[in-house]
């Protein structure tokens, strides 16, 4: 599957953004899709993930209550709605997909994914 992330931009603290991850070549609806982010000088970290049906989700503690992941299988797209953005959310955001089943604990582990899109930059100013 080829993944395309979009929706990044430059916003002020407290604003909202919605990122989209669109798949092509293979449906996303049979796999787990996740969002990762990488801030300058830091490791890429898992932000959120969603099961194939959308019925299960997981979030990093740093974004719980502020970010919401969802999917529209008809559009082969997964979204990351981000509210109350903070300067520390500044990063390049990547989406990734895997087809090895859902696991709440491991779904935000970078090593579990072998399908990655190019990132989209989110910059949050104070």
**How far apart (Å, rounded) are the C-alpha atoms in residues 14 and 9?**
14
3-state secondary structure labels for all residues of 14-61:
CCCEEEEEEEECCCCCCCEEEEEEECCCCCCEEEEEECCCCCCEEECC
In this predicted structure, the answer to whether residue 126 has a pLDDT above a threshold of 90 is: yes
The reported pLDDT for the residue numbered 101 is 82
Structure tokens that stand for 30 in this block: 């049979």
Q: What is the pLDDT of residues 79-119, one digit of tens each?
A: 999 999 999 999 999 999 999 888 888 898 999 999 999 99
pLDDT value for 102: 87
Note the pLDDT tens digit of each residue in 7-34.
999 999 999 999 999 999 999 988 999 9
Alpha carbons 47 and 59: distance in angstroms, whole number: 6
**Residue 104 and residue 45 in contact, taking contact as beta carbons nearer than 8 Å:** no
């Amino acid at each position: 599957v080829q993944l395309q992330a979009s929706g990044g931009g430059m916003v002020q603290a407290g604003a909202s953004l919605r990122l989209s991850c669109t798949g092509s070549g293979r449906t996303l609806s049979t796999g787990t899709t996740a969002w990762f982010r990488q801030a300058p000088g830091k490791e890429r970290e898992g932000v959120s993930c969603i099961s194939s049906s959308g019925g299960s989700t997981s979030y990093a503690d740093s974004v719980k209550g502020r970010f919401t992941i969802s999917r529209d299988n008809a559009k082969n797209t997964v979204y990351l709605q981000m509210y109350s953005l903070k300067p520390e959310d500044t990063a390049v955001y990547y989406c990734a997909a895997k087809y090895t089943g859902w696991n709440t604990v491991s779904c935000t582990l970078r090593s579990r994914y072998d399908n990655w899109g190019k990132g989209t930059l989110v910059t949050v100013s104070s």
